[in-house]
C-alpha cells in the first residue's frame, strides 16, 4: 500500500525560511502546510518529517539566489528533489496574489502535473568553475564601466583622444600626460585611473587562471575542438563548457539554441503566423559569448594564420564542421545584411546557427 502513495512537496525557499506544502497523490488540498527555518537543526527536522512519510516523496523548488544546497542536502539523505527553471514556470495572467505559501502549493501541483521544466543541478566542482567564469564576467563589466566613467569625465572637461584607437598604448600615454590645475579634478582623474588599473589587474589574474584550467585533461580536448571556430578562444570555450555542463545532454541542436534563448519568439493564431525577436530565455552567459563569436563571421571565410594554427591537430570530423561553419555562417551574414537588415540582426541569426555547430562538435569530440 505504501508503494502506491506519492507525496508531492512544494518548497518555497528564502534566506531565512522554507515554506512547505505537502500533497498526497492527486488530492486537491494539501495535507499539511508548514514553515521551517534554514538553520541546521530546522533542516534536520524537515528531513525527518519527509523520512516519516509512508511512500515516495517528490520535492521541488525553484532555482534562485539560495543556490542548490537544499537540493544536495535532500539528495544526500535519499529524498528526491528537483529544481525548476523559474522563467519557465507557468503563471496565470489574472493571478495578482503572491505569497510564499501559495508559491509552495503551486509548485507541488505543477510538479505533479508534469508542467515544470527542471534543470540539471551541477555538482560542487562544476558550480565552482561556473562561479569562476561568472566572477571574471563581473570584473569585465566593472572594467567597461570604469573605462566609460574615465572617458566621459575627460570629455566633460574638454579632453578627447584623436590620435588613434582608444585604449591603445598611445591613449594610455595621452591620459598620463593630462594635468588639471584644479586639485579636486586631478584627484578624480587619479582615482578613476587607479580604479581602472586595479580592475585590469583583476581581469588579468582571472584570465591566467582560466587559461590554466583550459589545459587540464578534463577540458583540453573539447576546448581545443571549440577553439577551431572563429571567434572562440580559451575563455569563450570555457564559458560555454561551464554553463552547458555537458553539451551531450542536449538532445538536438535546436534544443541547445532554445536553452540559450536564440530561437525566435512566436505569437501565432489561426492562419496568422507572427514571429518576433529571439526569446532571450535560458542561459544569458552562454548566449552572450556565442553572439560575440558570431561577429567574426562577417569577415572573409578564409582562415587566418592564428585560426589555422588552432585547427592544426583537430580530428577530421571536427575540422570539417568548423570549415563548413566558415562558409555557411559568412554567407548567411552577408545575405542578411544585403537584404537591408541591421548587422546586429545578422549577428544574432548567425549566432543561432553557430550554436548548432557547437552542439555538433560537442557530440563529435
Mind listing the pLDDT tens digit of every residue in the chain (365 residues)? 556 899 999 999 999 999 999 999 999 999 999 999 999 999 999 999 999 999 999 999 999 999 999 999 999 999 999 999 998 899 888 888 899 999 999 999 999 999 999 999 999 999 999 999 999 999 999 999 999 999 999 999 999 999 999 999 999 999 999 999 999 999 999 999 999 999 999 999 999 999 999 999 999 999 999 999 999 999 999 999 999 999 999 999 999 999 999 999 888 877 788 888 999 988 999 999 999 999 999 999 999 999 999 999 999 999 999 999 999 999 999 999 999 999 999 999 999 999 999 999 999 98
CB 335 within 8 A of CB 220: no
Give 117-151 pLDDT, tens digit per residue. Answer: 999 999 999 999 999 999 999 999 999 999 999 99
Mean pLDDT of the chain: 95
Across 172-187, b (16+ Cβ under 10 Å) vs e yields eebbeeeeeeeeeeee
Q: Which of 206, 194, 49, 81 is nearest to 141 (CA)?
A: 206
Q: CA angle, 66 as apex, 52 and 144 as ends, to 5°?
A: 165
110 phi and psi angles, rounded to 5 deg: -65, -40
CA distance 260 to 284: 6
How far apart are the C-alpha atoms of 330 and 58, rounded to whole Å? 48
Query: pLDDT at position 92, please?
Result: 87
Q: Where are the domains of the chain?
A: 2-113, 124-214, 218-364
User: pTM for this one?
Assistant: 0.91
Q: What architecture (CATH level 2) is domain 2-113?
A: 2-Layer Sandwich (3.30)
Give Cα 13 distance to the centre of its chain: 22
Residue found by looking up cell 595621452 in the block: 174
Amino acid at each position: 500500500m505504501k508503494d502506491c502513495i506519492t507525496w508531492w512537496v512544494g518548497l518555497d525557499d528564502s534566506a531565512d525560511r522554507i515554506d512547505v506544502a505537502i500533497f498526497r497523490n492527486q488530492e486537491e488540498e494539501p495535507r499539511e502546510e508548514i514553515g521551517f527555518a534554514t538553520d541546521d537543526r530546522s533542516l534536520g527536522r524537515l528531513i525527518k518529517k519527509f523520512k516519516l512519510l509512508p511512500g515516495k516523496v517528490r520535492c521541488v523548488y525553484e532555482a534562485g539566489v539560495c543556490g542548490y544546497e537544499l537540493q544536495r542536502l535532500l539528495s544526500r539523505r535519499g529524498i528526491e528533489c528537483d529544481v525548476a527553471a523559474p522563467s519557465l514556470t507557468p503563471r496565470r495572467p489574472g493571478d495578482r496574489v503572491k505569497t510564499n505559501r501559495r508559491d509552495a502549493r503551486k509548485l507541488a501541483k505543477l510538479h505533479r502535473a508534469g508542467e515544470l521544466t527542471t534543470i540539471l543541478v551541477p555538482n560542487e566542482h562544476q558550480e565552482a568553475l561556473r562561479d569562476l567564469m561568472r566572477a571574471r564576467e563581473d570584473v569585465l563589466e566593472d572594467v567597461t564601466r570604469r573605462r566609460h566613467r574615465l572617458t566621459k569625465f575627460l570629455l566633460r572637461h574638454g579632453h578627447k583622444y584623436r590620435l588613434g584607437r582608444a585604449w591603445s598604448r598611445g591613449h594610455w600615454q595621452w591620459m598620463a600626460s593630462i594635468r588639471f590645475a584644479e586639485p579636486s579634478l586631478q584627484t578624480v582623474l587619479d582615482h578613476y585611473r587607479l580604479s581602472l588599473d586595479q580592475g585590469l589587474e583583476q581581469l588579468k589574474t582571472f584570465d591566467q587562471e582560466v587559461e590554466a584550467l583550459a589545459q587540464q585533461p578534463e577540458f583540453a580536448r573539447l576546448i581545443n575542438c571549440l577553439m577551431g571556430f572563429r571567434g572562440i578562444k580559451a575563455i569563450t570555450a570555457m564559458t560555454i563548457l561551464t554553463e552547458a555542463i555537458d553539451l551531450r545532454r542536449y538532445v538536438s541542436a535546436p534544443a541547445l539554441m532554445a536553452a540559450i534563448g536564440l530561437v525566435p519568439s512566436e505569437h501565432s493564431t489561426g492562419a496568422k503566423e507572427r514571429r518576433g525577436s529571439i526569446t532571450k530565455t535560458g542561459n544569458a552567459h552562454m548566449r552572450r559569448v556565442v553572439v560575440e563569436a558570431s561577429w567574426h563571421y562577417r569577415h572573409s571565410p578564409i582562415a587566418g594564420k592564428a585560426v589555422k594554427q588552432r585547427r592544426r591537430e583537430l580530428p577530421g570530423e571536427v575540422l570539417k564542421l568548423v570549415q563548413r561553419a566558415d562558409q555557411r555562417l559568412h554567407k548567411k551574414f552577408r545575405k542578411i545584411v544585403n537584404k537591408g537588415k541591421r548587422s546586429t540582426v545578422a549577428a544574432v541569426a548567425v549566432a543561432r546557427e553557430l550554436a548548432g555547430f557547437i552542439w555538433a562538435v560537442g557530440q563529435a569530440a
